[in-house]
């Protein structure tokens, strides 16, 4: 998706508005600035929205210019602003526009920049072409240009464009049905993207993982019909070469999850083609960082597998040995995500990156705790907790941290192995899963685990209009580029 963004320093005039088909405008709540058709818009605002609520109307000109109008104050949060932007943008896309205009009259420069960024992010999210399989689907008109009026300073939207591409890729992959995105087909898509982006790529197939003795991953992969599971390793390198990556992105890529022998009921198995959403976010984040040409190397590790049921499938009470030698007692075969991530985190740690972030649709417990509006955050650096929360508030992709005290380990003590994979009780499973994963990360390496409770949300989230949210790309860029938690 390529969209040209043109900044126009001059303010809206009646002549300009009369040449537009689609216009989205946000003004202050405190006053009505000078703008074309002001009295008409004021009357309609009072009639349609009680003056402050967002609304869409047609202006009385020859083109019937469609206007979406919203009002904000300087204290609006990033999440609220992105959500407002989505509400305003969606009605304008009913006409499948190729061109969209944005205006922010009356706002302070700082607030205007925030508003423009949110509106552009919402427009790009809505315009991203997502997979559709209807036999008589209408051909979607692609947005080609966004014009911005009345902003004196360049809002610098290169990052917004990169984030939109990364988020769109994450949503596109997650939406694909499981027969379209098997581990093998997924790997082929990744290989094509790696060639386009100039990434180094290595695939650790089941034979290679067997030689490495990656028993945790191999236990899950045993039931895979095509035996095309494996771990993808990618590397982005800037011009300045470095042996150690500053950042390692790790993603859970379970392309379909039946639950294994502990079979999920139909209601909970439906949608399990999206159990690879964590890997899609890791890949989308790598794409965004690459397009921004960051000056530090980034590794990306994607654990691609299926959790199927067959005579070969792993069973309760088995004891398997992870790549680092840790022995694991299997308690529940539907806790497969932490198994494939365990060996992948060991591999990522061996490269000694400056920071590891892993993304996973890991536990129902996190959804029960937070709903689908936040992601759960877990870290081995408790001094980062306030930064993690602030990064969520600033990006509009909100996270909330959970405790990581060592006494939680008592629940996963095993009588016959080093650790239990989980418990059958399910109490605090999101915390127990994080404590389990931490065992496979080198203690010297800062680590953040994001349990993506909000990977799928009915009706979308913040500026994202689709049920699949691609949550994590925008958050990670804020954390890495603005909060500078990566030391390179």
Question: How many whole angstroms separate alpha carbon 211 and alpha carbon 228?
Answer: 16
Segment 247-254 shows an average pLDDT of 98
Q: Where exactly are the structural domains of the chain? A: 4-153, 162-482
pLDDT in tens, 151-186: 877 667 999 999 999 999 999 999 999 999 999 999
pLDDT of residue 76: 97
SS3 68: strand
The model's pLDDT over 41-65, given as tens digits with 9 standing for 90+, comes to 999 998 887 767 899 999 999 999 9
Told to judge if 213 belongs to the known catalytic residues of this protein, a careful annotator would answer no
Summarised one tens digit per residue, pLDDT across range 113-127 is 999 999 999 999 999
Residue 458: what pLDDT?
96
pLDDT range class, residue 139, cuts 50, 70, 90: low
Question: Which pLDDT value is given to residue 150?
Answer: 81
Say what the alpha-carbon torsion angle 43, 45, 50, 53 is, to the nearest 10 degrees.
Answer: -170
Catalytic residue status for 350? no
Single out the catalytic residue among 144, 264, 381, 483.
264
Residue 433: pLDDT over 80: yes
Residue that is written with structure tokens 């800037």 in the block: 238
Q: What is the pTM of this model?
A: 0.96
The pLDDT value given to residue 488: 67
Residue that is written with structure tokens 């989308």 in the block: 284
Find out if CATH 3.40.220.10 is the number for domain 4-153.
yes
Q: What contacts 119, CB < 8 A, 6 or more positions away? A: 24, 26, 85, 88, 89, 102
Percentage of the chain beyond pLDDT 90 is 89
- What's the 3-state SS for 207-219? HHHHHHCCHHHHH
Predicted confidence (pLDDT) per residue in 304-347, tens digit? 999 999 999 999 999 999 999 999 999 999 999 999 999 999 99
Quick one: average pLDDT of 70-86? 97
Residue tagged 């427009």 (tokens):
123
The class (CATH top level) of 162-482 is alpha beta
Q: What is the mean pLDDT of residues 281-302?
A: 97
- 240 pLDDT more than 80: no
Query: What pLDDT score does 151 carry?
Result: 83
Please provide the average confidence, as pLDDT, over all residues in the chain: 95
In the chain, % helix, strand, coil (3-state, to 5) comes to: 40, 20, 40
Catalytic residue among 338, 420, 435, 474: 338
């Amino acid at each position: 998706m390529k969209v040209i963004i043109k900044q126009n320093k001059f303010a809206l005039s009646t002549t300009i508005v009369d040449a537009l088909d689609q216009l989205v405008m946000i003004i202050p709540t405190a006053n009505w600035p000078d703008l074309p058709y002001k009295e008409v818009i004021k009357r309609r605002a009072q009639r349609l929205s009680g003056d402050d609520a967002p609304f869409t109307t047609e202006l009385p000109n020859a083109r019937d210019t469609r206007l979406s109008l919203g009002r904000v104050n300087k204290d609006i949060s990033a999440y609220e602003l992105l959500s407002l932007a989505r509400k305003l943008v969606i009605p304008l896309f009913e006409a499948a526009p190729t061109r969209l205009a944005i205006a922010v009259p009356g706002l302070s420069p700082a607030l205007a920049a925030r508003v423009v960024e949110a509106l552009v992010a919402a427009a790009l999210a809505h315009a991203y072409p997502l997979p559709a399989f209807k036999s008589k689907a209408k051909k979607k008109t692609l947005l080609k240009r966004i014009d911005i009026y009345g902003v004196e300073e360049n809002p610098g939207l290169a990052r917004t464009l990169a984030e939109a591409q990364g988020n769109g890729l994450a949503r596109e992959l997650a939406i694909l049905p499981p027969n379209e995105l098997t581990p093998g087909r997924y790997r082929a898509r990744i290989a094509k993207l790696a060639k386009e982006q100039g990434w180094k790529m290595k695939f650790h197939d089941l034979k290679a993982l067997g030689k490495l003795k990656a028993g945790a991953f191999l236990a899950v992969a045993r039931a895979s019909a095509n035996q095309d599971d494996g771990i993808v390793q990618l590397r982005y390198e800037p011009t300045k070469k470095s042996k150690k990556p500053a950042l390692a992105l790790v993603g859970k890529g379970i392309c379909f999850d039946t639950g294994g022998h502990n079979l999920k009921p139909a209601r909970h198995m439906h949608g399990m083609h999206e159990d690879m959403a964590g890997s899609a976010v890791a890949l989308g984040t790598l794409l965004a960082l690459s397009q921004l040409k960051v000056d530090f190397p980034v590794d990306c590790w994607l654990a691609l597998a299926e959790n199927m049921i067959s005579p070969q499938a792993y069973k309760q009470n088995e004891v398997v040995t992870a790549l680092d030698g840790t022995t694991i007692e299997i308690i529940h075969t539907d806790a497969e995500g932490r198994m494939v991530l365990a060996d992948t985190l060991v591999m990522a740690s061996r490269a000694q990156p400056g920071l590891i972030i892993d993304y996973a649709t890991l536990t129902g417990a996190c959804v029960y705790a937070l709903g689908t509006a936040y992601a759960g955050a877990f870290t081995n650096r408790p001094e980062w907790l306030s930064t993690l929360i602030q990064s969520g508030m600033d990006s509009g992709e909100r996270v909330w941290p959970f405790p990581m005290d060592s006494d939680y380990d008592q629940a996963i003590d095993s009588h016959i192995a080093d650790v239990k994979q989980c418990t059958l009780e399910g109490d605090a499973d999101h915390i127990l899963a994080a404590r389990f994963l931490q065992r496979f990360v080198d203690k010297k390496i800062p680590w953040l685990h994001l349990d993506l409770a909000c990977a799928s949300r009915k009706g979308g989230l913040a500026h994202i209009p689709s049920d699949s949210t691609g949550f994590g790309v925008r958050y990670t860029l804020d954390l890495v580029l603005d909060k500078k938690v990566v030391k390179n």
